[in-house]
Amino acid sequence: MGVVHHTSYIVWFEEGRGEYMRRTGTDYAEIERRGFKLPVSEVYVRYISPARYGDLVKVKTWMEKVKSRSVTFGYEVRMVETGKLLATGWTKHICVNEEGRVRRIPQEIREVLADFPLINPL
């Protein structure tokens, strides 16, 4: 078919999310060192136009919602060369401790994420 696999978009979301976290100064590894994890509990992708093998894409990532026990990130995937929109979507993450029990996100992490609503594309 010549188009990238549909799951590639979810991987691109993850890359965008990681960069977003780094730019906010909230390193995900530090969150885990503190005994918390933010696993994906929901994911949504709206496919608009296919990317093809060899295409360069950019991912814009932003914070949609910050709640006491969850965060939701939004995404746009576009072609680097033309800016053509390829996909939009979101991921919801629930905060759990090392035993997998739902916990409140530490206040200082919630504040950092809530105060940094938009990131430039990668």
pLDDT in tens, 69-80: 999 999 999 999
Report the number of distinct structural domains present in the chain. Answer: 1
* Strand pairing class (40-47; 85-94): antiparallel
Prediction pTM value:
0.88
In a domain, 65, yes or no: yes
Looking up residue 91, the CATH number of its domain turns out to be 3.10.129.10
For the chain, first and last CA: distance in Å? 27
Q: What is the pLDDT of residue 70?
A: 95
Give me the domain span that covers residue 37.
Answer: 8-114
Does residue 3 lie in a domain region?
Answer: no
Q: How confident is the model at residue 1 (pLDDT cuts 50, 70, 90)?
A: low
Q: Quote the pLDDT of residue 103.
A: 95
Paired tokens of 71 = 């965060």
CA distances to 23, 28, 43, 78, 120 from 85, rounded to whole Å, are: 23, 28, 19, 4, 15
Confidence of residue 8 (pLDDT cuts 50, 70, 90): very high
**β-bridge partners, 96:** 37, 102
Whether residue 91 is contained in a domain is answered as yes
